[in-house]
Structure 1
Amino acid sequence: MWDLTHELGSGLPYPGDPPASVTPHATFEADGYRVADVACSTHSGTHVDAPAHLLEDGATLGAYDVETFAFDARVVDCTDAGAREAIPAGRVPETDADLLVVRTGWSEHWGDEQYFDHPYLTAAAAARCADLGYHVAVDAPSVDPSPSPNASDGDPAGYPAHHALLGDERLILENVTNLRALPERCTVRAFPLRVDADGAPVRAVAGD
């Protein structure tokens, strides 16, 4: 099995989001036991986006049965895509999988500002994923371009890839990691915290 999950509280928060933290609340020395205070957003670390994240009347996580988060995955290698480069619809294969895992290699930049200059899906690529019935996972902070000092006028405005996927009730897994180890076909389990919200951190694990 392969752990596809960043440690919660590591890395940098998405620009504008609150940071995640795991800090001592009670200590063995002072209290005779340990309790940690965990603070995070619904999109901290390795997480899942539900349609309610960007759609006013979108479904929350509570609308999805737990088995939805057990995926038959197809991995597509996009490690040749450069910084802030668009991944076109032609890179989206047609398979019988229900999760497309887009491997860009960008998780290697986790923890530094370069992480936010990741490749991203075009609106057409995201729409093709939705048409083929795929949920999508990426080893980057977003399926759309992220805010960065290196952003350009040529970047798409808004969140077109998110809207194409979430508008079709597809789920989006972001900030996954350790994708280089995965075979082309595998299973992915990415169970979110049980919160009826717009998203939640997940523990994502793959198996062959």
Structure 2
Amino acid sequence: MCAPSVIAAALAGMSRRDALHFAAGVVAGVACAACSAGSCAATDGPPSDPPPKGPPTAKRTIAADQVQDLTHTLSPAFPIWPGNEPIRVTNKGTFAKTGFYSNRWDVGEHHGTHLDAPAHCSASGATAERVDAGSLIAPAAVIDIRERVKANADAAVTVDDLIAWEKTHGRLPKGCAVGLLSGWDAKAGDAKAFLGTDATNTLHFPGFSKAAAEFLATERDVAGLLVDTLSIDVGATPEFAVHKVWLGAGKWAVECVANLGKIPPSGATVFVGAPKVQGASGGPTRVLALWG
């Protein structure tokens, strides 16, 4: 059997589909080895005695030294797009009174760390429950524009930024999720700062440029976008061009992501726990990154 470091090295160069095939082969090989060692019942005789019972052994099905939560805690205080209502949490039972603790949530689909399904901005786009599950497990490619954002709140990821990332890390992996790291998540405790509202009520925060979205949608095999701001478009956009290009191409996005600066620019895998509600245009989402 291969050592974990050998398996990790092999998986590093594979697409997600190839990696799954490789993992299946490893499992099959282990099963065959167990049978050859006498742990399986003979095919031409009575079955062997069952193995002695004992406490189950905890096993990690995915090897990863690091796990990072990329999700903000959602509460009524979390910033929300102007004109929308924040989450309302109503207690429906306490352990002392009913023996169970439970709450009712009243929440809009696009609040907190949340998914934008294609249907959010495309009449023919998939609703949340129809987003391909395989696309929600994706290699992460993090584009760091924090230095530019310090001087310009309306900074956007450009095609040049994507090409520069590829010069350092190689071509964007098939089926990846491209993340915008602007450092904006640090402002989430201050709604006015997070929205970047100016005296004219115009919003200001970073996003993707239309050209970058078109490049990723047509020139690369990218599953989704992750942004640490309120929108994949820059805040001051008048037309939401990136939403139209990206979601119109049948892709998903997650907005209001946290902690992108704590994961490597390349080499992590993100797991997007998208909501599965019939007809939903999106919804609050748990996002995790694993690597190492």
Q: TM-score, normalised by structure 1?
A: 0.89
Shift of 1:34: 1.3
CA gap of 1:31–1:62, structure 2 versus 1, over 3 A, is closer
The corresponding residue for 2:135 is 68
The corresponding residue for 2:276 is 194
Task: Judge which range, 166-175 or 76-85, deviates more.
Answer: 76-85
Give the secondary structure class of the aligned counterpart of 1:16. Answer: coil
Shift of 1:45: 0.9
Give the secondary structure class of the aligned counterpart of 1:100. Answer: strand
Alignment of 1:1-208 (within 5 A): 1-9=67-75, 10-80=77-147, 81=149, 82-93=152-163, 94-97=171-174, 98-112=176-190, 113-116=192-195, 117-131=204-218, 132-134=220-222, 135-146=224-235, 155-185=236-266, 186-196=268-278, 197-208=280-291
Note the residue ranges of structure 2 that are not aligned, 5 or more in a row.
1-66, 164-170, 196-203
The corresponding residue for 1:150 is none
The corresponding residue for 2:53 is none
Cα pair 1:78 1:103 within 8 Å, conserved: yes
Structure 2 letter corresponding to 1:194: K
Give the secondary structure class of the aligned counterpart of 2:243. Answer: helix
Give the secondary structure class of the aligned counterpart of 1:92. Answer: helix
Say which structure, 1 or 2, has more relative contact order (CA 8 Å, 6+ apart).
1
Cα pair 2:184 2:229 within 8 Å, conserved: yes
Structure with the greater alpha carbon radius of gyration = 2
Note the residue ranges of structure 1 that are not aligned, 5 or more in a row.
147-154
Cα pair 2:129 2:275 within 8 Å, conserved: no
Q: TM-score, normalised by structure 2?
A: 0.65
Count residues with an aligned counterpart: 200
Give the secondary structure class of the aligned counterpart of 2:270. Answer: strand
Shift of 1:122: 1.4
Task: Give the ranges of 4+ consecutive aligned residues of structure 1 lying more than 4 Å apart after TM superposition.
Answer: none
Give distance in 2, aligned partners of 1:74 and 1:120: 15
Shift of 1:194: 1.4
Give distance in 1, aligned partners of 2:88 and 2:145: 31
RMSD (Å) for aligned C-alpha atoms: 1.6
Give distance in 2, aligned partners of 1:115 and 1:55: 27
Task: Judge which range, 12-21 or 172-181, deviates more.
Answer: 12-21
Give the secondary structure class of the aligned counterpart of 2:146. Answer: coil
Structure 2 letter corresponding to 1:128: F
Cα pair 1:3 1:178 within 8 Å, conserved: yes
Higher helix share: 2
